Amino acid sequence: MKKRRFLISFTTHLLLLSVLCTTISVISTFHMPKSTDVHTPSDTIPSSFTVVLDAGHGGEDGGAGSADGIVEKDLNLALTLQLGEMLQANGIRVVYTRKTDTLLYDKNADYQGRKKVLDMAERLRIAQEAGECIFVSIHMNTHPLTSCKGLQVWYSENNTESIGLAQRIQTNIKALQPQNARRIKPSNGTIYLLRQLECPAILVECGFLSNPEEARQLNDEEYRAQLALVLVASILESRMQN
């Protein structure tokens, strides 16, 4: 049978152990996707548990870019699909705002000058109609200083669970980025989706495309798989505590 694209290496399993060394129950129930596996949710995770995954940008909105042509929208989508596959392998219901390279506005509507507004409204609608959920938006960062690097999480202040999830990710990412000293940040009403949503909601800036070394890492499928593993482990760990 054809191998799955996102098979995780032995070193990645060691990464999971280091990230969740104090959470044995999560490790013992964590499943990696395989083409022949059929999984049921862990006893500790409700079957109704939903994660809304939002791949930032898309279509004519490319987002940030690297000096050698890596485009944010493509990495956002690739990582989102990897993360979603891992969550689904563990019995978690996943709702995507987009699964293709598109901006979410109605092509039959009067969208001139309103594409981004309509796109944000559609992402918000999808998340609000998902029911009880956690909302995770995936992005890449950029900065005029090419030395800037490292994942950073922004959180919504509308739900107290947001800050806990953000902090778990920011802490656990040190297993993959040992020098990462960044801190979580409140959105302070500046990020539309985090401002509007009442559910636990975060936006993950996964790294800097303006940093050549980090851009190359983010463009590597195996590195993204390790990053996705940190995210999914943090989500499951956070859910067990709430």
Question: Residues 107-149: pLDDT tens digits?
Answer: 888 888 899 999 999 999 999 999 999 999 999 999 999 999 9
In a domain, residue 5? The reply is no
In a domain, residue 4? The reply is no
- Cα angle 147-151-154, degrees, rounded to a multiple of 5: 120
Read off the pLDDT of residues 148-169 as tens digits, 9 standing for 90 and up. Answer: 999 999 999 999 999 999 999 9
In a domain, residue 186? The reply is yes
Indicate which CATH number applies to the domain containing 210.
Answer: 3.40.630.40
Domain that holds residue 232: 10-240
Counting the structural domains of the chain, the total is 1
In a domain, residue 2? The reply is no
pTM reported for the whole predicted model:
0.83
CB 239 within 8 A of CB 96: no
In a domain, residue 18? The reply is yes
CB 8 within 8 A of CB 30: no
